Amino acid sequence: SALNRALEGVALGLMDDHLAHCVLDAARAGEDEGAAKLKEASDAIRRLVRS
């Protein structure tokens, strides 16, 4: 249980970093690149929720 919470914390930290940098930068770069990064983030969130 504690290990699962620790892993979830790491996963959430990585997701926050990804959203703050990669997705934001891609959104600034253009619609297509931004949409691709948003889908990537959504897919990662979906995997995290399922685990």
Angle, vertex CA 23, rays to CA 43 and CA 14, nearest 5: 65
> What contacts 19, CB < 8 A, 6 or more positions away?
41
Domain ranges of the chain: 2-50
- pLDDT lower than 50: segments of the chain: none
Prediction pTM value? 0.60
Query: What pLDDT score does 25 carry?
Result: 86
Q: How far is CA 50 from CA 8, 9, 26, 32, in A?
A: 12, 15, 26, 27
Structure tokens at 47: 């995997």
Q: What are the tens digits of pLDDT across the range 32-41?
A: 888 888 888 8
Q: What's the chain's length in residues?
A: 51
